Chain A
Amino acid sequence: MSNPQKKRNFQIEAFKHKVVVDPKYADKTWKILEHAIHEIYNHNSSGLSFEELYRNAYNMVLHKFGEKLYTGLVTTMTAHLKEISKSIEDAQGGLFLEELNRKWNEHNKALQMIRDILMYMDRTFIPSTRKTPVHELGLILWRDNVIYASNIRTRLLDTLLELVHRERTGEVINRGLMRNIIKMLMDLGSSVYQEEFEQQFLEVSAEFYKGESQKFIECCDCGEYLKKAEKRLNEEMERVTHYLDGKSEAKITNVVEKEMIENHMLTLVHMENSGLVKMLLDDRYEDLGRMYTLFRRVSNGLLTIREVMTSHIREIGKQLVTDPEKLKDPVEFVQRLLDEKDKYDSIINLAFSNDKMFQNALNSSFEYFINLNARSPEFISLFVDDKLRKGLKGVTEEDVEVILDKVMMLFRYLQEKDVFEKYYKQHLAKRLLSGKTVSDDAERSLIVKLKTECGYQFTSKLEGMFTDMKTSQDTMQGFYSSHLELGEGPTLTVQVLTTGSWPTQPTVTCNLPAEMSTLCEKFRSYYLGTHTGRRLSWQTNMGTADIKATFGKGQKHELNVSTYQMCVLMLFNNSDRLSYKEIEQATEIPASDLKRCLQSLALVKGKNVLRKEPMSKDIGEEDAFFVNDKFVSKFYKVKIGTVVAQKESEPEKQETRQRVEEDRKPQIEAAIVRIMKSRRVLDHNNIITEVTKQLQSRFLANPTEIKKRIESLIERDFLERDNVDRKLYRYLA
């Protein structure tokens, strides 16, 4: 047996460790351990036996000397830390941090070794007596004796802040050392880090950036300032990743944002000659983008940008749509709107990262100023007309789509969509009848777009116009195949237009030349023969004719003229000189139309197939007209346009307006009936809002108009007023 003295003689203190009987056992053992701790701190651990030290500590705890061991540890370690603290205090200048770091590393290493030696105490004695475990104890003692030492505490803080400041002013500092020291503070507990460093760091930073931002704002323009602010912000974030606690990032960036951006937000935005407006005007995407990313960080930052941008766009837009100079050419006008839209779209796209809020602001601004001008619907329609007449020649399908999409976008901003519809119908009719459409596909594609935007109702008539064109072709084929004898003589092409689909006005039919009127009669009987129950009326104001003319010197030309012009010219087959009165009598063309048509025949240079006496600019009742024998033209075919007012004249405008108002009436009534049918009873205000809501995709209904319609419906017994509450309406049916 290895342990011969251990026999079955049980005595109370029959422990195999006879040490217990030695009253000085505890002191002796502690001396050994204390010595070991000293040696460890003095880097002499290689002479110590781990096993022996552990065994001694174990036995001390086992024999209930744990308390002595623990307090001994605290005293010894405290003494060492006091010494260390002294040596750190003595370190000169820049060596201070290095010394602190070195001592901290040494302490850590020693602490781990001590912890391992005293592991038994750590596992048993400390939990049961609820004391601080050795490792935490070591940290706490370090904190209390070193970090909190009066000569170190403020010096440490000052040194750290000084280093940060020096780095901010461009010096290179020892970041590794900095990181280690900050890490030490964090290891001692997040509260130590916060109290000993972070709080003051943030305060000092706020002070620093307050001064700096003031300096910058005085000497830099907006773009430069933002560049500097961005740089500072990035520097701080980089600083955090290099040597601060990750949790500080939000705090320090907050400080920079507040001092450098939030406090100077308005100054920056409104800075003269370099503020937001200037950037917008100059398309400075980079600066704008920077402003966006920086301002996004602070509350209300984007709101500020948005507000300034909105008011700027509204201002510019207002100028665009109300400047009479710019209203002269509708195509130019719309093009300018489109250009403006493109400009801001690309700003939002490139600089404002397609922010939805900015897009909304842009849209609402456009909506605001486009509707400032009541003629916008007309102009947009004219723009389309222009594009579809000639502008799209030689342009690929994709480009056509792009242009049409842009137009649709402007269309969306319109409040009075029915006005646009009205004009669009007129322009389309003109295009179709005069065969001026460049591309059927483009026309149809636009109609499809309108359809998806406003629904079937909106486009059904437009589609009807296209159908009419198609059926008319078929009808004419049928007509000529059944009247083969008509091969000789003038050719008639009739377009049968469905009433209602087309913007027709009831006009007086003029007297057609004899050749033509017989032909027309034939067609009428053919058509009415194939279709029963229909009525045909001639719209001579909308037709065209190709006539062949031979002039005085034998020069032959084919003249492309309107029906009215054709009637006038045919008169000259029989006479050389005709007075205005004679012409008017013979043709029965309305005076205004006749004047216009004579103007275009006689007064347009290069196309003056007639000659007028006297040679004044205007057509007078007493004027006389001759065939212009001296007419020359380089071309065989000569197109003689009517002098058309591209834009509507004032009375015409009024007329269209009136018609639009007229058209709105049934729509408003229909809406009221629809609403009342489902609600049965509703009060006045609610009807107004509901109607406005239902119709707003088409136009902005006028409340007084709605009220009038309600009155009219009451008169016609669709509705009645409630007997008690006069504001309530009831639906009758």
Chain B
Amino acid sequence: MSVERPSSWTVDSDIDGIDLDPSDFGSSIPLKKVPNGDIFEASRAGDIDRLRYLLETGLNVNARDQWDSVALYYACLAGHLDAARMLLESGAICSEHTFDGDRCHYAALNLKVRKLLKAFEARPPPLAPLQAALRETFLGCGANRAFIEQAASLFPGFASAGDPKYDTFPPDVTFYIQGRPIQGHRVILSARSPFFKKKFEADWEDRNEVRFSKEKLSYTALYSLLHFFYSDRLEISVDDMEDLVRICKVCKCDSLQKTLEKELIHQKYADYKALRDADNSQKRFILQGSSLPAEDRLPAAMSRLLEASLSNSSAYSISPNGGNSLIASVGKLQIGEFVNDLADVCVKVGKRVFRCHQVVLASRSEYFRARISRMKEFYEERDEVPLSKLPYLEEHDLAMETFEKMIEYMYTDSLKEVDPDQAEEMFDAASRYLLFPLKRAVADVLLPHLEMVSPAELCHWLTLSDMYGVLKIREYCLDMIACNFETFADTPEFRAMLLTLPPPSGDSSLRTTVPSAPGAAVNIDQGNLLDDLREKWLEAEAAELDKRDESALLFDNRLEMLMLVAKQENAANPSDGGEG
């Protein structure tokens, strides 16, 4: 039976560290298909098609079956490298000193599997942009960084702190447990825990220092929990887990508490099975946010926060009558309609005022970080909404719909229903606010739409994507143009575009160095459009390698001709290039 397998893994540059040949991933044994199997069966059988499907449904990759084993364990046991890798890339845990991680290491069929595990152990699955940004903000707080540095010296690999930027957003609350500080931000804590929300609304309202005197409260456990609040990744030593369960109970983090309790029972039970030779103090437990129900993860919490503040923001809409009613409405709002959104900054975009949270804006966008920290030094129109106590920012040259979409992405890392018409503005916003991941997100939404657009429109997108540096779209457009060059050559918009672009480099040496030669990649993101187009065209149309130069010359001549035509057209119809 011949199974159609995806070509062996292209070893990407990140993984170069391990000596895995692509051939390692090939298997001489025909793999079994388990079309109806669950994730464990699929892992054991090495049926990656089924596995991929299952993973796409979003199930918990770290779940254990009735035999107390995770899917990765089966993949390692059976030596299915590509299945194991797929699981690892989906966030399966293989860290040292964790129950599941150690088991996978022990069970690894051969050295290749071990190598793979080692490579991923050193580099846990990267966090999504939102989690990564908030984690950086958390670790940027002086007290927290001090702790993580201390912990890193004790347990190498205890979540490396990375190199925090020197100017992260400052914390607004400090907790002291047994005299040791943890710093945090009210907004995040309130969003993730009803307990903190209540406390911050009531007796902690005006305090920026909270001292816990309870002996039983464990510093490391609370630290782990706070870290989890920011990053959706819990990393805790097994000894601290009971403390954390108690804290969760107080903080009303129900699903986390349940998961931990289950795990605690499991750990206790696992003790009987383990040889107990490993140093217990080093044993750890790692929980990915994906193990919790979606509504208890960070994006869901932030999205609730956003909803609350957006619903309040809508009330700000300036009525066409002018300023007076605005003040009136603000006055009304002050009385207490939106006390629950914890917003600490207002952003006015177009005719709408958005209530936002400084910590989120600053964590996600360097622009806002600088802007918020410089509010005192530069001029801001402070007195426009005199009754509001909140700091007030105004953004110009931006549609409020775009801003709304953008903050939706900033809070939740996801985009819903982007109108292709909005895409251009979104690209602009993403560049302007230095939200580079947003470009990719928009591009993903836009791509399917591009399949149906006219050549003229494609030219437009090409110029845009080149300008905003959206590689995915740019690549797509270039491919389309190269493959259908003649069609485009007949399009006046394409010819007109040629005129606006910088001329292609005449250096033939650049031409003969083939696309992905190491030295050629100097300026990958901002290369000359026409050079790139030529490469694409040569790939698609040109003769064999030895004829490449001739083909390239042909192409250059063709371009020149087209440009001449374009110039004539332009001269004939000067208004064409003008106002849009």
Q: Which A positions have Cβ atoms within 8 angstroms of B?
A: 1-3, 5-6, 8-18, 21, 45-55, 58, 62-63, 113, 116, 119-120, 123-124, 128
Instruction: From the candidates A8, A63, A119, name the one contacting B370 in the complex (CB within 8 A).
Output: A119
**Chain A positions within 8 Å of B579 at CB level:** 18, 21
Contacts of B399 in A (CB 8 A): 1-3
With both chains docked as a complex, state the minimum distance between the C-beta of B319 and any C-beta of chain A, in angstroms: 16
| Interface mask (B419-448 → A, CB under 8 Å = 1, otherwise 0) | 001001100100110100000000000000
| A2 engages B401 (CB within 8 Å) | yes
Q: Does B484 contact A (CB under 8 A)?
A: no
The minimal Cβ–Cβ distance linking A121 to chain B, given in whole angstroms, is: 11
* Assembly CA distance A8 to B523 (angstroms): 32
A11-B580, A120-B432 known; A55 and B456 CB under 8 Å? Answer: no
Known: A55-B396, A119-B370. A12 touches B378 (CB 8 A): no
Within the complex, the shortest CB–CB distance from B465 to chain A, in Å, comes to 13
Query: For B397, what are the chain A residues with a Cβ–Cβ distance below 8 Å?
Result: 17, 55
CA A119 – CA B463 in complex, angstroms?
23
| Contact, CB under 8 Å: A51 / B374 | no
Chain B residues, Cβ within 8 Å of A6: 421, 424
Contact of B393 with A51 in the complex, beta carbons under 8 Å: yes
Count of CB-CB pairs between chains A and B under 8 Å: 102
B460 adjacent to A46 (CB under 8 Å): no
Cβ-defined contact, A49 with B379, below 8 A: yes
Residue of A with least CB distance to B393: A51
- On whether A51 and B396 interact (CB within 8 A), knowing A119-B366, A123-B366, the answer reads yes
**How near does chain B come to A133, taking the closest CB pair, in angstroms?**
13
* Residue among A8, A51, A52, A128 with the highest chain B CB neighbour number at 10 A: A51
State whether the Cβ of B361 lies closer than 8 Å to any Cβ in chain A.
no
- Residues in A with CB closer than 8 Å to B580 are 5, 9, 11, 13-15, 18
Q: What is the bound-complex CA distance between A27 and B578, given in angstroms? A: 20
Of B45-53, B78-86, B322-330, B493-501, which stretch is located at the interface? B493-501
In the bound complex, residues from chain A placing their C-beta under 8 Å from that of B467 are 62-63
- Which residues of B lie under 8 Å from residue A128 when comparing CB positions? 523, 525-526
Contacts of A46 in B (CB 8 A): 377-379
B459 at the interface (CB under 8 A from A): yes
Q: Any chain A CB within 8 A of the CB of B469? A: yes
Nearest A residue (CB) for B525:
A128
> Which single member of A2, A47, A55 contacts B379 (CB below 8 Å)?
A47
Q: Is the interface of B mostly helix, strand, loop or mixed?
A: helix
Bound-state CA distance A120–B425 (Å) is: 17
**Chain B neighbourhood of A52, CB < 8 A:** 396
B338 within 8 A of A: no
Residue contact A12 to B459, C-beta cutoff 8 Å: yes
| A10 / chain B contacts, CB cutoff of 8 Å | 456-457, 459-460, 493
A11-B497 Cα distance, complex, nearest whole Å: 9
Q: How far is the CA of A11 from the CA of B576 in the complex (A)?
A: 8
- The answer for the CA separation of A123 and B434 in the assembled complex, in Å, is 8
Interface string of B246-276 (1 = CB under 8 A from A): 0000000000000000000000000000000
Q: List 7 A-B contacts (CB under 8 A).
A: A9-B580, A11-B580, A12-B493, A18-B580, A49-B380, A63-B467, A116-B371
Q: Are B526 and A12 in contact (CB under 8 A)?
A: no
Please tell me if B400 contacts chain A, counting CB pairs below 8 Å. Answer: yes
**Chain A residues near B24 (CB, 8 Å)?**
none
Residue of B nearest to A18 (CB): B579
Min CB–CB distance B480 → chain A (angstroms): 15
A15 contact set on B, CB distance < 8 A: 580
> Within the assembled complex, what's the spacing in Å between the Cα atoms of A62 and B397?
14
What are the residues of chain B within 8 A of A49 when measuring CB–CB? Answer: 378-380
B124 beta carbon closer than 8 Å to chain A: no
Contact of B350 among A2, A8, A11 (CB under 8 A): A2
Residues on B facing A (Cβ under 8 Å): 350-351, 366-367, 370-371, 374, 377-380, 393-397, 399-401, 421, 424-425, 428, 431-432, 434, 456-457, 459-460, 463, 467-469, 493, 496-497, 500, 523, 525-526, 576-580
Q: Are A48 and B366 interface neighbours, CB within 8 A?
A: no
Q: Are B431 and A58 in contact (CB under 8 A)?
A: yes
Contacts of A53 in B (CB 8 A): 378
Please give the distance in Å from B375's CB to the nearest CB on chain A: 8
Please, which residue of chain B has its CB at the minimum distance from the CB of A58? Answer: B432
* Complex contact B434–A120 (CB within 8 A): yes
B493 CB contacts on chain A under 8 angstroms: 10-12
Find chain B residues with CB under 8 A from A63 CB: 467
Complex: how many Å from CA A54 to CA B457?
30
Q: Are A48 and B523 in contact (CB under 8 A)?
A: no
**Distance between Cα atoms of A590 and B379 in the complex (Å):** 126
B434 with A12: CB separation less than 8 A: no
A43 to B, closest residue via Cβ: B377
Q: How far is the CA of A55 from the CA of B578 in the complex (A)?
A: 24
What are the nearest 4 A-B pairs in CB distance? A14-B580, A116-B370, A50-B378, A2-B399
| Interface-central residue, B468, B497, B579, by most chain A CB under 10 Å | B579
Using known A-B contacts A2-B401, A13-B577, determine if residue A51 contacts B350 with beta carbons closer than 8 Å: no
Check A14/B460 contact, CB under 8 A, given A51-B371, A116-B374, A119-B434.
yes
- Report the separation of the CA atoms of residues A49 and B374 in the bound assembly, to the nearest whole angstrom: 10
Are the C-beta atoms of B460 and A12 separated by less than 8 Å? yes
Tell me whether B525 and A51 are in contact (CB under 8 A): no
Given that A14-B580, A62-B467 are known contacts, is A48 also in contact with B379, CB under 8 Å in the complex? yes
Expressed in whole angstroms, the minimum distance between the Cβ of A131 and any Cβ of chain B is 13
Q: Which residues of B contact A47 (CB under 8 A)?
A: 379
For residue B351, which residues in chain A have a CB less than 8 angstroms away from its CB? 2
Q: Distance in Å from the Cβ of B499 to the closest Cβ of chain A?
A: 8
Picked from A12, A113, A124, the residue with its CB within 8 Å of the CB of B377 is A113
A14→B380 CA distance, assembly (Å)? 32
Q: A3-B399, A120-B432 are in contact. Are A45 and B377 (CB under 8 A)?
A: yes
* A21: contacting residue among B350, B431, B457, B578, CB under 8 A: B578
> A124 to B470, alpha carbons, bound, how many Å?
13
- Asked whether B378 lies within 8 Å of A16 as measured between CB atoms, the reply is no
B431 touches A120 (CB 8 A): yes
Smallest CB separation, B427 vs chain A (Å): 10
B431 touches A50 (CB 8 A): no
Q: Which residues of A contact B428 (CB under 8 A)?
A: 16
Q: Report A-chain residues with C-beta under 8 Å of the C-beta of B578.
A: 21
Chain B residues with CB under 8 Å of A18's CB are 579-580
Hey, which chain B residues are within 8 Å of A1, CB to CB? 399
Minimum distance in angstroms from A68 CB to a CB of chain B:
15
Closest-CB distance, B398 to chain A (whole angstroms): 9
A9-B454 Cα distance, complex, nearest whole Å: 12
Please indicate the chain A residues that have their CB under 8 angstroms from the CB of B576 in the complex. Answer: 11
In the complex, are the beta carbons of B379 and A124 less than 8 A apart?
Answer: no
Closest to A124 in B: B469
**Alpha-carbon distance between A116 and B372 when the two chains are bound, in angstroms:** 11
Q: How far is the CA of A124 from the CA of B432 in the complex (A)?
A: 11
- Other-chain contact of A62, B431, B460, B523, B525 (Cβ < 8 Å): B431
Nearest B residue to A17 via CB reads B397
Contacts of A55 in B (CB 8 A): 396-397, 432
Nearest CB in chain B: distance from A138 CB, A: 16
- Alpha-carbon gap, A697 to B520, bound state (A): 79
A302 vs B460: C-alpha distance in the bound complex, in angstroms? 82
Within the complex, what minimum Cβ distance (angstroms) separates B428 from chain A?
Answer: 8
Given A46-B377, A51-B394, A119-B367, A13:B500 Cβ within 8 A: yes
Please, which residues of chain B bring their CB within 8 A of the CB of A12? 459-460, 463, 493, 496-497, 500, 577
Minimum C-beta distance from B101 to chain A (A):
37
Residue of A nearest to B500 (CB): A12
User: Is the beta-carbon distance between B400 and A2 smaller than 8 angstroms?
Assistant: yes
Residue of A8, A48, A120 with most chain B CB atoms under a 10 A cut-off: A120
Q: How far is the CA of A51 from the CA of B397 in the complex (A)?
A: 10
Apart from the given pairs A5-B580, A11-B460, A45-B379, 8 other A-B contacts in the complex at a CB distance below 8 Å:
A6-B424, A11-B493, A12-B577, A15-B580, A58-B432, A116-B370, A120-B432, A124-B431
Docked Cα-Cα span, A120 to B429, in Å, equals 12
Which one of B393, B401, B432 has the highest number of Cβ atoms from chain A below 10 Å of its Cβ?
A: B432
Q: Which chain B residue shows the least CB distance to A9?
A: B580
Smallest beta-carbon distance B418→chain A, Å: 15
